[in-house]
Amino acid sequence: MRTGRVTGSLKGVTFGTHAGALQLGSGRIGFMDEAGPRLDIVRIDPSGRPVVEAHYAIPDPSGDWERAGWLATDHSRRYIAVGSDFDGSTTQRVTVIDRVSATARTVSVPVSSVTTSGEPGTEEMEVFLVGSPLRLVVTAGGHLDAYRLSDILAGDRRPTAFARAPLAAYPHGPIANDAGTVIGSDLAVGVQTVRVTASGFGAARFALYPVAALQSYRPLMAPDGVTSVGTQAGRTPDGTTWDRVPAYLTTASTTTGAIASVRVGTGRFTRAVATRSYAAAALTTTGGDRLVLVERDPRTGAYSGEIHGVSLARLTADPTPGQGTTAATNRFVAASPDGHDLFVSRGGEGLVTQLAVVGDTTTRRRDITVPTALADGGYLTVVDPGVRPYDLAGR
């Protein structure tokens, strides 16, 4: 980040953008190489060079692997869970990796069919490694199922769930506090969380979205380890074009159950990123492209404070107002946990803009040329070896 110079690359990797990167601490991340399929653990050395420390093959005996849906780790970062995403299937697979013994166990778990858009189908299976004793929890179509990790590590390939809790419709982003004592998901109309107990699950909390909006666009956990943050599209009539869709930033607390939304503009937006002092997202509007920064309220932990905008040069393939977005490119946003460095990609152009944030002032530092076009916005993550990770899910 000091120079913007490319210090290394990994060739021949098909990065699983849906599962994202799992922050493991000490300069390490885990991610899916979907070409394997396999889970790679990579360490960024002091010179900035990526070093592959381990590969864990994901069994694919039938050759029908589609992609990893979600990744999860536990509070100690010893274990990693890789959840499958077989579209429409009521049998999913989870591979649990033990980084200490360098072993992996794969289990089959059932999920329930649900009715989506009037047709029977399945939801994405989210995975969690939480609780004490440690257990694997999955979203399983209208409910959360908990499996003893000890059974899985002992070789049980078809474990039986020992606890179940109801879950409302359409989970699309796992939420877990860093302690692994509260989990949940953003859903169709709100956020649901539940406390993890020794015997299974405690009481659940449900909070409706404060505004009429769709589920959060892939929320993540903030550096406080208890607050989830995500961007959302406001509900609009069918056929509404991108340039007339309201955009919101929504914050939910796993501690108090409180939820808050702020409108950040109208148009096409990216996933959010959260730092200790602000959350940010890139927004494409009819009036131009910009970064939107929303200050954190230190009293509540919610990102609901003052809003700042930073103009961005338009993408070469920005969408046209009143038309679709199929041919348009996207952006991706990342930031250092302290918020001092903010990055936004230029999809299809092979550039990442680095900005410096000091208080209310945001200035452009440099454009970084990368050895890829960053199709569809690419994927960015910041790895800081001096920061203890605080998100138990891949983002």
Are 311 and 298 within 8 A, CB to CB? no
Say whether 110 sits in a helix, a strand or coil: strand
Q: Can you give the pLDDT at residue 1? A: 65
Domain spanning 12-208: CATH 2.130.10.10: yes
Can you tell me which residue has the tokens 């420390």?
53
Edge-to-edge order in the sheet of strand 259-266: 217-221, 227-233, 246-253, 259-266
Mean pLDDT of the chain: 95
| CB-CB neighbours of 316 under 10 Å | 11
Helices first, then strands: H and E counts in the chain: 1, 31
- 63-121 pLDDT tens trace: 999 999 999 999 999 999 999 999 999 999 999 999 999 999 999 999 999 976 677 88
d(CA 284, CA 346): 12
Can you tell me which residue has the tokens 């954190």?
296
Q: Can you give the pLDDT at residue 24? A: 98
**Paired tokens of 114:** 């649900």
Are 244 and 228 within 8 A, CB to CB? no
Q: 15-51 burial, b for 16+ CB within 10 Å, e for fewer?
A: bbbebbbbbbbebbbbbbbbebbbbbbbbbeeeeebe
pLDDT at 261 over 80: yes
For residues 7-32, average pLDDT: 96
Q: Can you give the pLDDT at residue 314? A: 95
Cis link prior to 37 (omega < 30° from 0)?
yes
Q: Can you give the pLDDT at residue 115? A: 79
For residues 200-220, average pLDDT: 93
- 107-165 pLDDT tens trace: 999 999 997 667 788 999 999 999 999 999 999 999 999 999 999 999 999 999 999 99
Q: Can you give the pLDDT at residue 117? A: 67
| CB-CB neighbours of 200 under 10 Å | 18
Say whether 121 sits in a helix, a strand or coil: strand
* % of the chain beyond a pLDDT of 90: 93
Say whether 187 sits in a helix, a strand or coil: coil
For residues 303-329, average pLDDT: 94
- Bridge partners, 135 (sequence order): 130, 148
Give the phi and the psi of residue 103 in degrees, each rounded to 5: -125, 160
Contacts of 107 (CB under 8 A, 6+ apart): 93, 94, 96, 147, 152, 156, 157, 158, 159
Q: Can you give the pLDDT at residue 120? A: 82
- 164-194 pLDDT tens trace: 999 999 999 999 999 999 999 999 999 999 9
Q: How far is CA 160 from the centre of its chain?
A: 28
Q: Can you give the pLDDT at residue 335? A: 98
Rounded to two decimals, the pTM is 0.96
Using DSSP bridges, classify how beta strands 174-176 and 163-166 pair: parallel, antiparallel or unpaired.
unpaired
Q: Mind spelling out the 3-state secondary structure of 51-109?
A: EEEEEEECCCCCCCCCCEEEEEECCCCCEEEEEECCCCCCEEEEEEEECCCCEEEEEEE
d(CA 251, CA 204): 18
pLDDT at 9 over 80: yes
Indicate the DSSP class of residue 394: -
For residues 234-258, average pLDDT: 97
Residue 369 binned pLDDT confidence (cut-offs 50, 70, 90)? very high
